[in-house]
């Protein structure tokens, strides 16, 4: 169970007619008070009076030792959150459970043998968590060692751990700094888990998608038409929900980071394809691709969304899927030629052969580019494909950031190795929509022109990026 740290109070007393010193230290919600009251009127206290500086600093040292300092989460470099090759990578999903929230973690622990049982996760790794009211706060509201209520392992070797987290009173929002530490070593990985205890959208955390009767939810909001899923809640059983089906193809790719005078919101025009009702806890198949918006009450804007994607998404495999992300590195004439060619695959192959100069190098450039596209889809797909989003665009062109800092309302990406010797920073601000609270938009600036065009030119010359 979580616990609230005890209040530590240090009192050094000797009766006086002097003054009272109060030191209020706010660390881990400790309220630390030193009261020093000494008198010179009584001879037996005169020695104590002379030693008052020693007593003061000794007490202060004890306090500082007891009231441990913690760095705020927004100072932690979380770049490994966008690195699928890390020894431990984590995806999370949260479901409202009334007095608690249920936290589901999908953990890809690459060091553990594929045939090891589910419980082996706890042999290799331990979990601790600090709950704070925000990314920038140094207050630790609750801290404890976390023990999963359940652990599973799927056929691909991914571990699934389920935790019940008690809601904090009078706290609308919190973030857990989840520390996954490797037993017997000094290695650990900090994962940020934001928890919206009182979401503006009241059903945002009320429902999750589950695959084919599984007790573990999907960690992403997309799946294929062939998949069988159900929508479930811990608070409502057999609930009727209303669904609108939109064409996701109406979303266009993001504009370059220096396009400051363009109307960004114009790209999000939607074509309604249909409406229907479903019941929760029933197995479902969605045969048509597109964006689905789910509501309890159609007179409000509250709801959540998911995307049904054809083929092998988040991978791109067919020619038109391979052509689409090239919008970021090609001219309009090149895109028209690639899209309208009667022999699209051959035209695409020739484009990359021209870029690479020879077949082997072209193959490496292709692998590099489309690995970025796949990761952008996996990481950033919300109500539109990840490669079309602002974060997806930057990820495809510049790759994984060297540093990632997260805040309550935005995240900052830093690239230390770039054409610009002073480095490069992109800020993405949270812009919730009716489809998702996790929509981010780039703060655009004309200052990005040099870095953008220079990096695009490197792609076009076949310069490999690492």
Residues 143-194: tens digit of each pLDDT: 989 999 999 999 999 999 999 999 988 899 999 999 999 999 999 999 999 9
> What is the DSSP pairing of strand 34-37 with strand 10-13?
parallel
Read off the pLDDT of each residue in 447-456 and give the average, rounded to a whole number. 94
Does the pLDDT of residue 253 top 50, yes or no?
A: yes
Work out the angle at residue 413's Cα, subtended by the Cα atoms of residues 408 and 416, and round it to the nearest 5 degrees. 145
- Counting residues of the chain whose pLDDT is more than 90, the rounded percentage is 73
In a domain, 187, yes or no: yes
Q: For residue 270, what pLDDT band results from cuts at 50, 70 and 90?
A: confident
Does the pLDDT of residue 328 top 60, yes or no?
A: yes
Read off the pLDDT of each residue in 215-230 and give the average, rounded to a whole number. 94
Per-residue pLDDT reduced to its tens digit, 287-312: 999 999 999 999 999 999 999 998 89
Which pLDDT score is estimated for 235?
93
In a domain, 407, yes or no: yes
Same domain flag for 86 and 37: no
Same domain flag for 45 and 79: no
Query: Residue 158 belongs to a domain with what CATH number?
Result: 2.60.40.10
Cβ(308)–Cβ(301) under 8 Å? no
Domain boundary among 176, 198, 220: 198
In a domain, 348, yes or no: yes
Same domain flag for 439 and 323: yes
Same domain flag for 93 and 39: no
Which pLDDT score is estimated for 283?
95
Count of structural domains within the chain: 3
Does the pLDDT of residue 367 top 80, yes or no?
A: yes
Distances (CA, A) of 332 to 253, 257, 327, 335, 457: 13, 18, 8, 5, 15
Domain boundary among 198, 225, 256: 198
- Contacts for 324 with CB less than 8 Å, ≥ 6 apart: 253, 316, 387
Which pLDDT score is estimated for 260?
83
Does the pLDDT of residue 337 top 80, yes or no?
A: yes
Nearest CA to 96 out of 170, 224, 213, 197 is that of 197
Domain boundary among 163, 181, 198: 198
Residue 122 forms beta bridges with which residues? none
Read off the pLDDT of each residue in 5-15 and give the average, rounded to a whole number. 32
Read off the pLDDT of each residue in 24-53 and give the average, rounded to a whole number. 44
Distances (CA, A) of 282 to 119, 209, 238, 303: 30, 11, 8, 19
Per-residue pLDDT reduced to its tens digit, 76-113: 999 999 998 899 999 999 999 999 999 999 999 999 99
Which pLDDT score is estimated for 37?
39
In a domain, 394, yes or no: yes
Same domain flag for 99 and 154: yes
In a domain, 298, yes or no: no
Q: How far apart are CA 136 and CA 71, in angstroms?
A: 9
Same domain flag for 435 and 328: yes
Does the pLDDT of residue 6 top 70, yes or no?
A: no
Q: For residue 41, what pLDDT band results from cuts at 50, 70 and 90?
A: very low
Same domain flag for 446 and 359: yes
In a domain, 206, yes or no: no
Q: Which domain holds residue 53?
A: 10-66
Same domain flag for 323 and 449: yes
Residue 443 forms beta bridges with which residues? none
């Amino acid at each position: 169970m979580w616990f609230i740290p005890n209040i530590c109070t240090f009192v050094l007393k000797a009766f006086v007619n002097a003054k009272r010193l109060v030191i209020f230290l706010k660390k881990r919600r400790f309220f630390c008070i030193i009261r020093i009251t000494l008198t010179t009127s009584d001879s037996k206290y005169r020695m104590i009076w002379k030693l008052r500086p020693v007593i003061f600093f000794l007490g202060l040292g004890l306090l500082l030792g007891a009231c441990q300092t913690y760095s705020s989460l927004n100072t932690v470099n979380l770049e490994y959150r966008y690195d699928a090759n890390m020894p431990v990578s984590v995806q999370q999903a949260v479901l409202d459970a009334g007095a608690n929230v249920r936290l589901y973690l999908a953990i890809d622990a690459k060091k553990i043998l594929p045939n090891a049982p589910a419980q082996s996760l706890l042999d290799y790794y331990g979990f601790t968590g600090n709950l704070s009211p925000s990314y920038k706060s140094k207050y630790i509201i609750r801290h404890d060692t976390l023990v999963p209520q359940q652990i599973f392992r799927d056929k691909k070797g991914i571990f699934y751990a389920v935790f019940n987290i008690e809601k904090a009173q009078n706290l609308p929002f919190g973030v857990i700094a989840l520390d996954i530490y490797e037993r017997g070593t000094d290695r650990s990985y900090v994962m940020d888990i934001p928890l919206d205890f009182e979401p503006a959208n009241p059903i945002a955390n009320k429902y999750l998608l589950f695959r084919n009767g599984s007790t573990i939810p999907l960690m992403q909001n997309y799946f294929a038409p062939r998949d069988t899923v159900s929508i479930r809640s811990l608070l409502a059983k057999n609930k009727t929900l209303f669904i609108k089906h939109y064409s996701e193809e109406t979303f266009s790719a993001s504009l370059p980071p220096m396009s400051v005078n363009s109307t960004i919101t114009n790209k999000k025009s939607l074509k309604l394809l249909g409406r229907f009702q479903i019941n929760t806890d029933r197995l479902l198949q969605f045969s048509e691709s597109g964006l689905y918006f789910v509501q309890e009450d159609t007179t409000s804007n509250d709801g959540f969304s998911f995307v049904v994607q054809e083929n092998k998404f988040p991978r791109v495999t067919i020619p038109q899927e391979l052509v689409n992300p090239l919008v970021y590195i090609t001219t309009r004439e090149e895109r028209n030629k690639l899209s309208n060619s009667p022999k699209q695959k051959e035209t695409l192959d020739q484009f990359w052969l021209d870029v690479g100069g020879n077949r082997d190098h072209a193959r490496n450039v292709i692998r590099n580019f489309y690995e970025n596209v796949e990761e952008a889809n996996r990481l950033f797909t919300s109500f539109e494909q990840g490669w079309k989003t602002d974060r997806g665009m930057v990820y495809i062109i510049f790759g994984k950031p060297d540093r990632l800092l997260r805040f309550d309302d935005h995240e900052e990406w830093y690239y230390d190795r770039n054409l610009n010797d002073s480095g490069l920073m992109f800020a993405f601000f949270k812009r919730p929509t009716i489809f998702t609270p996790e929509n981010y938009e780039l703060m655009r600036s004309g200052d990005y022109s040099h870095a953008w065009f220079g990096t695009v030119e490197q792609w076009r010359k076949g310069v490999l990026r690492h």
